[in-house]
Amino acid sequence: MSDITLNTLEKMKHDGDKIAALTAYDYSFASLLDRAGIDIVLIGDSLGMVMQGHESTLPVSLEEMIYHSLCVTRGARRALRVGDLPFMSYQGSRELALESAGRMMKEGGVQVVKLEGGEVMADTVRFLVERGVPVCGHLGLVPQSVHQLGGYRVQGKDKSGANQIRNDALALQQAGARLLVLEAVPADLAKTISVELEIPTIGIGAGPDCDGQVLVLQDMLGIYPKPSPKFSRNFMAGADSVEAAIKAYIQAVKSGEFPSAEHCF
């Protein structure tokens, strides 16, 4: 059992304490993040891009997610471990989602599974939660739908899009989700949702008013060979070690210094 639990995060939201999260995909970085004091380690299907060199997250398999999750589990003992369900490992049916989530928890050691989608996934979320699987939702820019979205674009910019994301967020909470990632949505929309929800929101390109922040580790360290998104920041600049950069990120999130206006939409 990690020191940080879902109850810990809910209390942090209630107390106004910011939640700091980063991705990790291996033992060494997971150990470093844990030692630095990160609250959430996200084993993201972003590994398809930053670890495997794919153009999107779509090629990542459930077996690969389990493998990387287990590597992270060996290193992260304090932080809460959240793992992505990869593309087509849960969309087909509630039963498929339960089987995939069960494997991620039993074989990969994750404590929460993350899936993308709003109202359309609410029944699946409820099905998982009722069977003892904690769920984190993901709204806004949902990378597994990149082709349907027409690329990596900001979501919820018009009134109808914003209303849909708000409705999706409420539907996921009502279905039993315990966390919600908001990616690439306007800061004012993310603020509204964060106030409306009882569960913690974790922003990535969603402004400073989410209950926490997450970045892809390789973006935040400036080591991904392709351009990083607008909402990221290179914390290695001016740091004398990787651990110092990670601690600087955690401090910047906790103090509210990050994200600043230049990282928001």
Active site residue ranges: 183
Residue type, 216: V
Contacts of 178 (CB under 8 A, 6+ apart): 6, 9, 10, 112, 134, 135, 136, 199
Q: What is the DSSP letter of 2?
A: -
3-state secondary structure of 234: coil
Whose structure tokens read 């990378």? 143
Contacts of 138 (CB under 8 A, 6+ apart): 114, 115, 116, 117, 180, 181, 183
Whose structure tokens read 């060199």? 53
CA pair distance 157, 112, nearest whole angstrom: 29
Question: Are 47 and 240 in contact, with CB atoms under 8 Å apart?
Answer: no
Contacts of 78 (CB under 8 A, 6+ apart): 2, 3, 4, 34, 37
State the DSSP string of 105-163: HHTT--SEEE---SHHHHHHHHHHHTTT--EEEEEES-GGGHHHHTSS-----SHHHHH
